[in-house]
Copies of this chain bind each other. A is one copy, B any other.
Amino acid sequence: MSAALTVKSEFSRETQFVRQAPPVWLVREQAAPRRAELAHHLPPMSFAQDSGIFAEGDAARYFYKVVGGVVRSCRFSQDGRRHIDAFYKVGEMFGFELGAVHELSAEAVTDCVVIPLRRQGVELAGAQDETSAMQLYTYAMQSLTRARAHSQLLGRCSAVQKLASFLLELSADKQGQAIELPMTRQDIGDYLGLTIETVSRTLSQLEKDGAITLQAARRISIKSRAALADLKG
């Protein structure tokens, strides 16, 4: 496993993709951040693949914004099974809490870089900075919208529908091209409430049906977005 990276260092896995376009989930945000969007932030922090950013029960002193790589937030049930609540890509915020401690862990799916934002700086900023308060509320509501959609997916859908939705979500931005999956089959399974075997089988099925092509385990190309949308239900 690679050591923790400094902000300016290259990502250890990036060299593997040198002949291809770099995978989207490693591309840093392009636009310069608008000033006064969310102030009080600390310098970016880097995390090696599979390292923990914070753990369930840790003091929730910061929110985080992803500026490079992919993060997962997860939780373990009493019997030890992992549930992945969400994946966060570049530009997304995570780490929102109601109380003083984190209810979920956050881990680096790939090597990644995040910007911590002091919680007290933004949470109570209403009086001094109305824009920040609204920003924060907006991010929290986005999380809520996603959580609702995820619930519906988990509650009402078959394995095929779950995978179809997942692939469409992953490939929402990159029209037509292949997707580089940053996460393992285990990650996907824990996110969709399926076993790795079912994830694998279902992907194979989608390939047989002509909806996708499995160019490699971690590289999938969408052949028919329409077919996936149909399967999604």
A binding-site residues for B, Cβ under 8 Å:
75, 77-79, 81, 83, 85, 96-98, 103-104, 123-124, 126-127, 130, 133-134, 136-138, 140-145, 147-148, 150-152, 154-157, 192-193, 232-233
User: Which chain B residues lie closer than 8 Å to A140 at the CB level?
Assistant: 137, 140-141, 144
Asked if B155 contacts A79 (CB within 8 A), the reply is no
Chain copies in the assembly?
Answer: 2
A233 contact set on B, CB distance < 8 A: 77-79
Whether B148 and A103, one on each chain, are in contact in the complex, defined by CB atoms closer than 8 angstroms, is yes
Instruction: With CB as the reference atom, state the residue of chain B lying closest to A98.
Output: B141
By beta carbon, the residue of chain B nearest A150 is: B151
21 A-B pairs in the complex with CB atoms less than 8 angstroms apart: A77-B157, A78-B233, A79-B233, A83-B151, A83-B152, A83-B156, A96-B141, A98-B144, A98-B145, A103-B145, A124-B134, A126-B130, A126-B134, A127-B130, A136-B137, A137-B137, A140-B140, A140-B141, A140-B144, A147-B151, A155-B192
